[in-house]
A and B are shown apart, each in its own frame.
Chain A
Amino acid sequence: MNKGKKRFGGEKLSGLLELPGGLLGGGAHIELCANRQAIIDGKCTVLEYSDQIVRLNTGSGIIACTGTGLQICNLKNDGVTVTGRIRALTFDQ
């Protein structure tokens, strides 16, 4: 309940400061370079890893990156870089 309030407060503050929604709410920051590279900033853990799918659990949900020749380039505590030919990026709550 408290977490939901905090997240709601973050969303509200983002709206007041005209920042992108979810930026202050603990969501992952994702950068896509065409369909070749996805840089995901924020704490995340690997749920599934193969050359066709990379599923990552971020604080705000699960991100599934599907495609071919996918590879985790750099896995750190505060981010991950996925390279390869990305076909789709989906979000599951």
Chain B
Amino acid sequence: MFMLLLYRYITAYVKFRGMGGFPERFLNLCARSGIEIWDPRISDGVLYGCMRAADYKKCRKNAKKAGMRLKLQKKRGLIFVVNRYKKRYGLLAGGAAFFALLFFLSGFVWNVNIVGAGSLDNNRILSALKNAGVYEGCRRDNIDQKDARLKLLMELPELSWAAINIENSIVTVDCRQTTQPPASTENYEPCNIVAAKDGRIVSIKTYEGTTAVRVGEAVTKGQLLVSGTVDLTNGSTLFKHARSEIYAEITRTLDVFVPFVQTAEFTDEKPIHRRVLSLFGLEIPLFLGEIKQPYTSEKSIWQPEIGGVRLPLKITTAAFYKIHSNSFTIDKQTALAQAQQQMDALCSEQLGNTLLEKGPADIQTTEKGVKYIQQFICKENIAKEEKILINP
């Protein structure tokens, strides 16, 4: 029904009224001469109906034969609307400009969508695509799909496969991430185990190689702990990859410094907004000047969408919060308390579970602040692999 109405609107039709004479005869004459009349209605001897605009002149002869007088009531159709505005050149120019702009803009890429990237960052793929000549705002005709695909795969070895599909103004990049084989845990390269730090050995667990030290011995950094060389009874030598866990008590010294004059930073509550208009990848700043003071910023992007298609228009708003600094002085007691707190935090961060015992603290007060030095006894695995260099 809708298609019929649309067809009638496009081909144009008229509503008419026929008075006097014989309406039935008029209907019959029209039907016989191929003039289609729809929705005819007789009310109080007056015939109302619709017919194609082109047929209206033709049916006057039939009306005369039937003794009727026809009167046009309404004209409906596209041609009548066009005729009404045909002298308005501005509308014509606007329409032409619209279609020209539409044609021009459809030659550019509006959206780049990425599908199947998995855990790979989309921004990295977009950046690689940009280097390959595919980006929002580039000419659609300039894209060499095969070349861009190869460049993308070469730049991102994490991708095993990629396809670049261009559908109208939307580029869809379908890609798959490479599944890396698990790294081999076995290492057969001949090596010795040496001490990574000075200390006293508390436990030894050797899995491969010949142990060169005993529990309770003091070792220095770089000393051989487990040898990867095994002398066989037949006189030959076997080189192995020595593996061992050797725990030793070691002394570590940590220090923190808290100055008396400190600086506190705070930001403005009211931000300064700066907007940038992006049109087909071209960025136009909508502001003047720059912010020289230190600041923190938050970024938000507004991009309109129509029917799931992102328009190539984007407004990026950055809210800048200026950072102000304020200097103040603290007394010795406060500085010492802060230093202790910082030392505790540093100790738990760097030593963790390896801590065995805390040593005495050394507090040095200078004009500038308080220096807090403390020694710790820790238990750490000091085994360090060192390759055996073999000359062939």
A and B assemble together: yes
A68 within 8 A of B: no
In Å, the complex CA distance between A77 and B31 comes to 5
- Chain A contacts with B in 64-83, Cβ cutoff 8 A: 71-77
A73 near B36 with CB under 8 A, answer no
> What distance in Å separates the Cβ of A17 from its nearest Cβ neighbour in chain B?
31
B38 near A73 with CB under 8 A, answer yes
In Å, the complex CA distance between A77 and B37 comes to 11
Range of interface residues on chain B?
10 to 19
Which one of B40, B42, B43 contacts A75 once the chains associate, using CB atoms below 8 Å? B40
- Stretch of A3-11, A21-29, A47-55 that contacts chain B: A47-55
- Chain A contacts with B in 38-59, Cβ cutoff 8 A: 45-51
In Å, the complex CA distance between A48 and B24 comes to 6
Which residues does chain A contribute within 8 Å of B34, judged by CB atoms? 77
In Å, the complex CA distance between A48 and B42 comes to 10
Which one of B24, B36, B41 contacts A74 once the chains associate, using CB atoms below 8 Å? B36
Q: Known contacts A46-B24, A49-B23: does B36 contact A76 (CB below 8 Å)?
A: yes
Which residues does chain B contribute within 8 Å of A76, judged by CB atoms? 31, 36
B24 near A49 with CB under 8 A, answer yes
A75 near B31 with CB under 8 A, answer yes
* Nearest B-chain residue to A57, judged by Cβ: B28
Number of interface residues of A (CB under 8 A): 14
* Nearest B-chain residue to A83, judged by Cβ: B39
Which residues does chain A contribute within 8 Å of B31, judged by CB atoms? 45, 75-77
* Nearest B-chain residue to A55, judged by Cβ: B24
Which one of B23, B36, B39 contacts A71 once the chains associate, using CB atoms below 8 Å? B39
Which residues does chain B contribute within 8 Å of A77, judged by CB atoms? 31-32, 34
Which residues does chain A contribute within 8 Å of B40, judged by CB atoms? 49, 71-72, 75
* Nearest A-chain residue to B33, judged by Cβ: A77
B32 near A74 with CB under 8 A, answer no
* Nearest A-chain residue to B24, judged by Cβ: A46
Which residues does chain A contribute within 8 Å of B204, judged by CB atoms? none
In Å, the complex CA distance between A61 and B24 comes to 17
- Chain B contacts with A in 1-58, Cβ cutoff 8 A: 23-24, 27-28, 30-32, 34, 36-43
B39 near A49 with CB under 8 A, answer no
> What distance in Å separates the Cβ of B34 from its nearest Cβ neighbour in chain A?
7
Which residues does chain B contribute within 8 Å of A72, judged by CB atoms? 27, 40
Which residues does chain A contribute within 8 Å of B43, judged by CB atoms? 51
Which residues does chain B contribute within 8 Å of A46, judged by CB atoms? 24, 27-28
> What distance in Å separates the Cβ of A10 from its nearest Cβ neighbour in chain B?
24
In Å, the complex CA distance between A72 and B48 comes to 11
In Å, the complex CA distance between A73 and B38 comes to 6
Instruction: Sample 10 A-B pairs with CB under 8 A, ordered by A number.
Output: A46-B24, A46-B27, A48-B24, A49-B23, A71-B39, A71-B41, A74-B36, A75-B30, A75-B37, A76-B36
Residues of A within 8 A of B (CB): 45-51, 71-77
Residues of B within 8 A of A (CB): 23-24, 27-28, 30-32, 34, 36-43
